[in-house]
Amino acid sequence: MAKTIIDLDSVGLVLSGGGVRGLAHIGVIKAMKENNINATTISGSSAGALVGALYANGNSIEEMLDFFKETPIFKYNFLTMAKAGFIDTDKYITLFKNYFPEDSFEALGKKLFLVATNLQKGEETYFSSGELIRPLLASAALPPVFSPVEMNGTLYADGGIMNNFPIEPVQKAANFIIGSNVSVISSLEKKELKNAVKLAARVTNLMIYASSKQKLKSCNIVIEPIALEKIGVLDKRGMQKAFEIGYEHASKKIETYLESRHHQNLPLK
């Protein structure tokens, strides 16, 4: 049931990368819809870019979930030996056109910013106009699983390499920001860091989170469910669970925020 509307000129939504955990973003959007909160500007990285594009495209919650459940992460005939990656990212273009037939940022109903990593220059690049699908694939092309995407002679890969929480364009366009971060960090026991693989994963996660931590403080509402850490970033079996965790956490955070503003008799901003 719709409740309180946040009466602001513009609401920005920032969606982090995080693989399968990114389905929690869809849960966040569902909670926003139930509270009549409508983002006017969206910025996303990797899985957050995919969810952000679907939201900006006007897809329903069910359609967003179907997109991830029906789009294969691994498919035999997508494997490649000719590119730097196990899976040829370009193979997904035809699948994506089923959801984005006009293949254009301008065809979306909301302003969308995607971030990808320019592998040759070693810098982040934002995309917000023109062709949509290739920048979208580039933003989610996590190496070495997915091959980089070539655009105008330059190779681009996962946006999370350089900027996993791309708040910057939203800060310029919105006066209220909701941040959804699914690359979460919690405390670990010493026994959980006893092999090289787990240690490397922990170090990588800490580095990604460190670059986002300060930026999260600039959000008016932060959704960051620690329970997501138990879901593997490429584990499709965790999709529904990630969605449910995101929805439950976002519903509570939004409700708490709205109640706090009401009790203080303050405008919702």
The strand pair at 176-180 and 154-157 is best described as unpaired
Among 16, 158, 180, 212, the active-site one is 158
The C-alpha angle with vertex 117 and arms to 115 and 119, in degrees rounded to 5, equals: 165
DSSP state of 107: G
In angstroms, rounded to a whole number, what is the distance separating the alpha carbons of residues 52 and 91? 21
Half-sphere exposure of 186 (CA within 13 A, CB side): 11
Share of the chain above pLDDT 70, in %: 87
Query: What is the rounded average pLDDT of the residues 81-92?
Result: 82
90 is catalytic: no
Among 16, 43, 45, 46, the active-site one is 46
CB 44 within 8 A of CB 166: yes
End-to-end Cα distance, the chain: 22
In angstroms, rounded to a whole number, what is the distance separating the alpha carbons of residues 237 and 177? 31
158 is catalytic: yes
Task: Report pLDDT digits (tens) over 190-218.
Answer: 777 777 766 766 776 777 777 788 899 99
Which of 86, 160, 152, 164 lies closest to 120, judged by CA? 152
- Which CATH topology does 11-263 take? Cytosolic phospholipase A2 catalytic domain (3.40.1090)
In angstroms, rounded to a whole number, what is the distance separating the alpha carbons of residues 197 and 180? 27
Task: Report pLDDT digits (tens) over 119-161.
Answer: 999 999 999 999 999 999 999 999 888 999 999 999 999 999 9
**What predicted TM-score, i.e. pTM, was given to this entire model?**
0.90
